[in-house]
Chains A and B, each alone.
Chain A
């Protein structure tokens, strides 16, 4: 007889952590398998957007979760590991785990959590939370990313903010910045006919942060439709509309200007029936979420299906987080673009579909102190 009832959570980002914590709370033994050397997923790459107050980007909320998950006596973690195969059926899955090729970033990971050799574990259910990949802006060559140093992505600017190097972006001669929305999203021809859910909010918060650092900046935002979602976001948009310029219609091409250090943003202006151009010092491309290129391998290993847009496919059942394979659940951005809030909500929703464990394993008695 099994002495514990176990759930395998694949992926240690916000969705996986939330699912793991909630399942452990009702008595499940949970094993988190994380490909990289650390838990928290993209939380490690996005900077804090607080100005004089918190702007609710939620990036830091990931760290609270990491602490709580590691502290839980029913959750174990294996890093630098990946799932090689999944056999069996619900209540009797057999999962083979292999060590991930060690990457550079692993140098500062926690040695004792690292999987050292292949092993097979039993599981009653599997929760997949492998997340997304940020869009590679080089795939849109006309936008000039990678060719002009003045063109950056939201992720690049975040990285600078995270490292407190924002001054290298906001050099004294920079006074005019443009944001370009929907880079990699809402593109039917490329098979990404979806809204990436988070980039409007990301750009507006970033704009606010930059204005906080440099109130004299002129900021323009090129958009298709602004997605106003989330708490107090109407409020936020109203405040920002007085401080920056919003232009409907995203540019087709970005090129170097005649003046040194300037870029030209070219877009079709239907009112004049021809192309119109504008000059900016810097352009920030607001990149969207793309299905992870590893989704196909993941689907093969786990026996799942991939949707036409590359994300993992959910079953037909309405409102359910179960995948096309019974007993395997999909949460977070692996099944379609999702922001942090939506991801954690999906993770919570999936846990309601999983019942209480049949056998409660009692390890040592603990009490939750500071929760």
Chain B
């Protein structure tokens, strides 16, 4: 069989030796692909990097329009982020197909392995052929870092950033008194009003004394501290001057506050577990007092021993003879003429009431989100976490990064940190900024999306959906601007556009259509089930499945997408129209999507299609979404298997039970589940 125009695609098979490395003999695969009319070259996987160099040289010589690389995952992982550039900045992005973990390891007999591998390669070729050549350009990155902060974290980070040769501008509120920090420019009393542009070239607009100020910077680090309101007053002791507040950090402790005292008490964890810095400071105060011969009682619910030195500090308190009382119920405090009486029940000692008298009662500060966090989160276009602190709780961006490239978070405004971690985090952010800006330039695509202004209704759905702030309103406010340098290529904007005004150059609908067309070829009379899998989770899980020797059913056809949000309803319907029995979208678990709203959007789309199918009476077709993580290979195979089980006419209890069990394992949404 000759495939039309197959010579414009170069198929590179990365292979080992016939006998040892692979269960799929390379010579057989090469012969089979050549028989089908493809231009094939063989790559040795022995040394992936020199092989990649050889591949680049070959591509420059024969100038294919598209490139497909097939091989084992460890080799392919070298490929997908690589763009093969010619001297004019034109780049080909190879499509990769895993023929080892996804074919060779999965199927028992050689014939099936070969058949599966060839089919997967052909799907890849179809995708590669629709892939455009993308033009790249080099952009200069600015060395300036805007550091928003008002405390220890920001000052430490400033120091570390400056030490790495970055130009730091520290933006502090009016009321902060600062000693000059070497190598750091200081901007006082300025408030961020807008942040546009992309990593390497942000444009920040500040308001300072009612005038607007524009600053260009390569990166933005938000290091604002949490706010620390005074502790909530204890009933009967509202205005008692024997109740004092513990300073914020161990460094702020003044031994003078202990002058002339015989006994002190500290109560932690009254309404919530204390922050780690608050515990550290309380411990330091207790130790200081005990060393002066003062009687110290420390009440707490959970003692923080976290951190390398946590247990050491706690042991020291015991060693110093401090009375440590772990309570279940918050102790009662009563005013007395000569002090404060604290009545508590020790969680361990049980019913007996302990009565302890202290000259002074110390309480820690409370910790709340930074006062302007809500406003700033809107300006940055980055959501807060569920407790109102900076940086949404998404592990993809831990510890200091965000879905917006070039914007980082540090300090107590985003995370509960010990004094040790404040320093570590400052170094960590400096390292991240340096690896972003340190080289002075970045290679970015010139254009990734085509936006049809005629079709666009300016509904701004894309702008609201984009988790990476890669879409902006232009200056006049009547058109949209797409920023390739800020884009993570999840394709969510295009898949949610109700007008279909956005076309992705990379991985457009055509690519999936072409893939689906080949994937849907009926074989052995069975209708295929198309599985769209996110490259950040499901694709990893599938590779791991191969390693565990797990098979996907023959009917399942896996198509890797950059984000589950990439798949639009049209694509799901296309797949069904082309003959698939069902479509499964496998995305990341909710709150785990790198592009923030991708998996949630995919879930909605799958559900919508399922509803439509039901309304149309197409009971035998299905559309489902499941959240899956990279380390869930067994669950992935379980889900796909359950979906591929034929709906047999014989609905015996046994088969119903089996099917229900399978569906249960998935806990997804959709019809027919």
**Interface residues in chain A, defined as those with a beta carbon under 8 Å from any beta carbon in chain B:** 22, 25-27, 43-44, 46-48, 50, 52-54, 56-64, 66-68, 70-71, 73, 76, 108, 110-113, 162-165, 186, 188, 193-195, 197, 225-232, 234-235, 237, 248-249, 269-272, 318-319, 336-337, 341-342, 344-346, 348-353, 356, 363-371
Contacts and interface: CB of A to CB of B under 8 A. Distances in A.
B74 A110 contact: yes
B443 A367 contact: yes
The interface residues of chain B, by DSSP majority, are classed as loop
Interface string B643-673: 0000000000000000000000101000000
A326 to B, nearest CB: 18
B439 A26 contact: yes
A270 B47 CA distance: 65
A67 B21 CA distance: 21
A366 B83 contact: yes
A336 to B, nearest CB: 5
The 3 residue pairs across chains A and B that have the minimum distance between CB atoms:
A271-B350, A70-B77, A349-B427
Contact of A54 (B400, B591, B667): B591
A229 B310 CA distance: 13
A265 B425 CA distance: 41
Contact of A47 (B307, B540, B549, B631): B631
Interface residues of B, number: 109
Given A53-B590, A234-B387, A248-B347, A22 B431 contact: yes
Nearest to B101: A108
Interface stretch (B216-224, B248-256, B370-378, B391-399): B391-399
B45 A112 contact: yes
Contacts of A111: 16, 20-21, 45
Contacts of A112: 16, 21, 45-48, 72, 74-75
B306 A44 contact: no
Is chain A's interface secondary structure helix, strand, loop, or mixed overall?
A: loop
B304 interface: yes
Contacts of A270: 348-350
A351 B428 CA distance: 8
24 contacts: A53-B592, A54-B394, A54-B590, A59-B631, A76-B49, A111-B45, A194-B310, A197-B307, A229-B306, A231-B398, A235-B386, A248-B328, A319-B427, A344-B398, A348-B432, A349-B424, A352-B164, A352-B427, A352-B428, A352-B434, A364-B53, A366-B81, A369-B489, A370-B489
A368 B81 contact: yes
Nearest to A77: B74
Interface stretch (B415-423, B454-462, B492-500, B519-527): B415-423
Contacts of A162: 631-634
Given A232-B385, A270-B348, A352-B427, A248 B398 contact: no
A17 B272 CA distance: 36
Contact of B431 (A113, A269, A337, A349): A349
Contact of A226 (B77, B302, B424, B632): B302
A271 B399 contact: no
Given A110-B72, A186-B305, A232 B386 contact: yes
B631 to A, nearest CB: 5
A60 B629 contact: yes
Interface string B313-330: 001000000000010100
B78 A70 contact: yes
A50 to B, nearest CB: 4
A54 B348 contact: no
B629 A336 contact: no
Interface in B236-289: 272-273, 276
Interface in B424-464: 424-425, 427-432, 434-436, 438-439, 443-445
A366 B393 contact: no
A56 B588 CA distance: 12
B393 A232 contact: yes
B588 A319 contact: no
Contacts of B82: 71, 73, 366-367, 369
Given A52-B590, A112-B48, A231-B415, A61 B398 contact: yes
B351 interface: yes
Contacts of B136: 367
Contacts of A226: 273, 302
B77 A67 contact: yes
Contact of B311 (A53, A193, A341, A352): A193
A48 B535 CA distance: 17
B518 interface: no
A367 B91 contact: yes
Given A50-B589, A370-B535, 10 more contacts: A53-B590, A76-B49, A112-B47, A225-B303, A235-B386, A342-B424, A346-B424, A349-B428, A351-B435, A352-B163
B273 A228 contact: yes
